[in-house]
């Protein structure tokens, strides 16, 4: 099974400023990987703009008003020390959230059951009321709640293997038993959250990894902690926060994964989706700041999505 890709040229227009690690070159590397003949891509879709209704299911009205108002006519405006907006950032963020919603609509409509959203800015640090950590809107959270609201399902699992804990996603769903959020992440590292004791209603599964951890620790975290929780939860849709910054080449962290690890975990999640969710799985790009690692990891991830 090949994989549908949801993206938009507007996502290249987000310019956090010179030297910022979340640069347009990241998405260019991903798109080049998707053009590789070895990559199992079938259809490409232009992502729509997320609607205010879709955003407001997850984010406070005051936060949305602030982000919309902050978009500058030129130059950069910083929402915090790490999170900047340029003149085209709002459109990029709306396309990123819209891509996930559109991809979810697509896997429910069929015949494609798996999709990858090649988008930026990333989203998993954005909480219900705060844009932070390079993130404006929480793309996967918006998509998950869209699925619950529109497609008549009761359980969505979000799996996050970005090297940084998705504090925003955990914040949004900590009291929502319809969503299981499971994360592997380096600790200690930004944003400093994601302790195993942070369980929400029992629907948050946090497996921190120490600096220097690699394939054995990562795979054990899934085999012993996350995959059993997914089996018990039996999600009707699987959503993936696909950050590739746990790769050994990434400059912002200190884990030692490689593309084979991302392929392995993706195959495990595809198998969960096949057993419980009629194969439905939507993945969205989060972090990853080595261009070489992004390229090889994207190919590995998308080809693993095509399994079954």
pLDDT attached to residue 132: 98
192: left (phi over 0), alpha (psi -120 to 50) or beta: left
pLDDT top residue among 29 and 110: 29
Residue ranges with strand state E in the chain: 3-7, 41-46, 77-78, 84-85, 114-117, 156-160, 179-186, 204-209, 237-242, 281-285
The first and second tokens of residue 297, run together, are: 């990891």
**CB-facing half-sphere around the CA of 249: CA atoms within 13 A:** 13
Tokens of 278: 């009629």
For 46-102, how does the pLDDT look when each residue is reduced to its tens digit (9 = 90+)?
A: 999 999 999 999 999 999 999 999 999 999 999 999 999 999 999 999 999 999 999
pLDDT at 265: 98
CATH no. for residue 77?
3.40.800.20
The pLDDT of residue 95 is 98
Radius of gyration of the chain from Cα atoms? 17
Joined together, the tokens standing for residue 290 give 């080595």
Domain count for the chain: 1
11-59, pLDDT tens digit by residue?
999 999 999 999 999 999 999 999 999 898 778 999 999 999 999 999 9
Give the N- to C-terminal CA distance of the chain in Å, as an integer.
7
pLDDT at residue number 143: 98
Smallest CA-to-CA distance from 183 within 167, 172, 201, 200 is with: 167
pLDDT at residue 308 is higher than 80 = no
d(CA 58, CA 129): 9
> What is the average pLDDT score of the chain?
97
> What was the pLDDT predicted at 54?
98
Residue 307 pLDDT > 90: no
Reduced DSSP (H G I as helix, E B as strand, rest coil) percent helix, strand, coil of the chain, to 5? 40, 20, 40
Task: Kindly state the percentage of the chain with pLDDT values over 90.
Answer: 96
Query: What is the rounded average pLDDT of the residues 139-143?
Result: 99
Residue 180 · residue 235 · CB < 8 Å: yes
**Confidence (pTM):** 0.98
Asked if residues 276 and 235 have their Cβ atoms less than 8 Å apart, the reply is yes
pLDDT value, residue 67: 98
Give the model confidence (pLDDT) of 255-276 as tens digits.
Answer: 999 999 999 999 999 999 999 9
Rounded (10°) CA dihedral 86, 91, 92, 94: 130
| Catalytic residue (one of 6, 125, 164, 301) | 125
Handedness of CA 108, 114, 120, 121 (dihedral sign): positive
Place of tokens 């991903």: 30
Among 80, 22, 58, 28, which Cα is nearest to 295's? 28
Residue 188 near residue 182, CB atoms below 8 Å: no
Q: Residue 290: is its pLDDT beyond 90? A: yes
- Structural domain that includes position 174: 3-305
β-pair type (237-242, 281-285): parallel
At residue 237, does pLDDT exceed 90?
Answer: yes
What is the structure's pLDDT at 40? 80
Residue 1: is its pLDDT beyond 80? no
Catalytic, 125? Answer yes
């Amino acid at each position: 099974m090949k994989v549908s890709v949801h993206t938009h040229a507007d996502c290249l227009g987000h310019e956090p400023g010179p030297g910022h690690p979340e640069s347009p070159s990241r998405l260019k590397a991903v798109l080049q990987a998707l053009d590789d003949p070895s990559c199992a891509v079938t259809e490409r879709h232009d992502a729509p703009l997320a609607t205010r209704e879709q955003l407001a299911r997850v984010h406070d009205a005051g936060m949305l008003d602030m982000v919309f108002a902050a978009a500058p006519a030129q130059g950069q405006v910083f929402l915090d020390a790490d999170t900047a907006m340029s003149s085209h950032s709002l459109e990029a963020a709306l396309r990123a959230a819209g891509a996930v919603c559109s991809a979810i609509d697509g896997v429910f409509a069929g015949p494609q059951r798996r999709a990858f959203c090649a988008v930026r800015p990333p989203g998993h640090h954005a909480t219900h009321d705060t844009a932070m950590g390079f993130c404006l809107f929480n793309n996967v959270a918006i998509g998950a709640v869209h699925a619950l609201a529109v497609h008549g399902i009761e359980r969505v699992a979000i799996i996050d293997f970005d090297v940084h804990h998705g504090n925003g996603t955990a914040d949004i769903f900590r009291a929502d038993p319809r969503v299981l959020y499971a994360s592997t992440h380096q600790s200690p590292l930004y944003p400093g959250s994601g302790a195993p004791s942070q369980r929400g209603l029992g629907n948050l599964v946090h497996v921190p990894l120490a600096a220097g951890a690699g394939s054995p620790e990562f795979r054990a975290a899934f085999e012993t902690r996350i995959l059993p929780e997914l089996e018990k939860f039996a999600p009707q849709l699987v959503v993936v926060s696909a950050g590739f910054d746990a790769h050994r080449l990434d400059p912002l962290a200190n884990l030692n994964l490689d593309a084979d690890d991302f392929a392995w975990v993706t195959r495990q999640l595809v198998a969960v989706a096949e057993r419980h969710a009629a194969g439905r799985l939507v993945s969205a790009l989060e972090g990853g700041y080595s261009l070489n690692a992004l390229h090889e990891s994207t190919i590995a991830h998308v080809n693993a999505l095509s399994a079954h």
